[in-house]
Amino acid sequence: MHSKKFSYENQELEITWDMKRCIHAKECVHGLPNVFDIKRKPWIDPDNESDSEKIIETIEKCPTGALQYHFKNKDNPETPPSSNKLIIDEDGPLYVHGNIVLQDTNGNEVLKETRLAFCRCGKSSNKPLCDNSHIGAEFKSGTSYNPERLELEPQENVGGELLIKLVENAAFVVEGNYELIGGDQQTKTCKRMSFCRCGASENKPFCDGSHRQIEFKTNE
Ligand code: SF4
Ligand code: FES
């Protein structure tokens, strides 16, 4: 996983932007164009908005976690949302929003985050995260899924820690309580599932073992 971070400050907040994670040109520039303006240098200017809450609200909509913030004078990290959500993007990544703990293929904790976009096409140079390679790869994948593959259990809540384990040369396994959101508002609550990250599964977004046929190699 690569990172190239830039920092921007006003009196109250420090904002960081990780250009290696930024794939998306909507929520920030459309949400608060006085602060986020790609035609300006620097493109982020927090002094242009006096209400820090508005800046925070916009940053928390950044679906990849490229944008982060912290208060300079208090220890107040972003609070994880009360529910975990996995959102399937058509022909694109799997967006995860929640109380995320990411483990590498050796079981080491590598990230604790609230927002990440996972590569589904297998072509990202920044695996396991999306870097927009799905566009050049002409990756095709709808957003609906086969619920019969899921171990469905009635759940009282969809919050708590969401553990994501990367598997060498194969899928990533999501463990915890979460909603899986597909097209046409298809939503199921789930506990544990393996998601394809090689791009070859016939049963996307789930892993069906096709990574072996295509000899998918990745061990981050
Ligand atoms: S919302 Fe996040 S991913 Fe999208 S353009 Fe802004 S910084 Fe990049
Ligand atoms: S990771 Fe793609 S089929 Fe298993």
pLDDT at position 140:
97
Q: What is the mean pLDDT of residues 206-218?
A: 97
- Ligand 1 midpoint to CA 69 (Å): 13
User: Which residue matches tokens 């820090």?
Assistant: 52
- Structural contact between residues 64 and 56, judged by C-beta atoms closer than 8 angstroms: no
Closest of 175, 174, 173, 172 to residue 218, by C-alpha: 172
The alpha carbons of the chain give a radius of gyration, in whole angstroms, of 18
pLDDT at position 154:
63
**Banded model confidence at residue 92, pLDDT cuts 50, 70, 90:** very high
> Residue 175: pLDDT above 70?
yes
Domains of the chain by range and CATH? 5-71 (3.30.70.20), 85-213 (no CATH)
pTM over 0.85: yes
Q: Considering only CA atoms, which residue is closest to atom 1 of ligand 1?
A: 62
- Structural contact between residues 136 and 129, judged by C-beta atoms closer than 8 angstroms: no
The DSSP line for 169-206 is TS-EEEEEEEEEE-GGG-EEEEEEEEE--SS--SSTTB
Whether 62 is in the pocket of ligand 1, judged by its Cβ within 6 Å, is yes
Whether 24 is in the pocket of ligand 1, judged by its Cβ within 6 Å, is yes
Residues with CB under 6 A from ligand 2: 170-171, 196-198, 200-201, 207-211
How does strand 161-166 pair with strand 172-181? antiparallel
**Banded model confidence at residue 180, pLDDT cuts 50, 70, 90:** very high
Q: Cα dist. 121→85, 94, 145, 216 in Å? A: 20, 10, 16, 11
**Banded model confidence at residue 191, pLDDT cuts 50, 70, 90:** confident
- The model's pLDDT over 113-125, given as tens digits with 9 standing for 90+, comes to 999 999 999 999 9
pLDDT at position 85:
96
Residue 144 and residue 105: Cα distance in Å, rounded? 28
Whether 35 is in the pocket of ligand 1, judged by its Cβ within 6 Å, is no
pLDDT at position 108:
97
- Ligand 2 midpoint to CA 139 (Å): 14
- Ligand 2 midpoint to CA 171 (Å): 5
What does the block give as tokens for 136?
């050049």
Q: Cα dist. 168→48, 107, 141, 197 in Å? A: 45, 11, 23, 11
pLDDT at position 153:
65
pLDDT at position 161:
95
- Ligand 1 midpoint to CA 27 (Å): 6
Residue from 121, 124, 210 to probe ligand 2 pocket by mutation (most atoms less than 8 Å from CB): 210
- Ligand 1 midpoint to CA 54 (Å): 16
> Residue 75: pLDDT above 80?
no
- The model's pLDDT over 24-66, given as tens digits with 9 standing for 90+, comes to 878 999 999 999 999 999 999 999 999 999 999 999 999 999 9
- The model's pLDDT over 148-165, given as tens digits with 9 standing for 90+, comes to 877 666 667 788 999 999
The amino acid occupying position 129 is L
What does the block give as tokens for 20?
């290696």
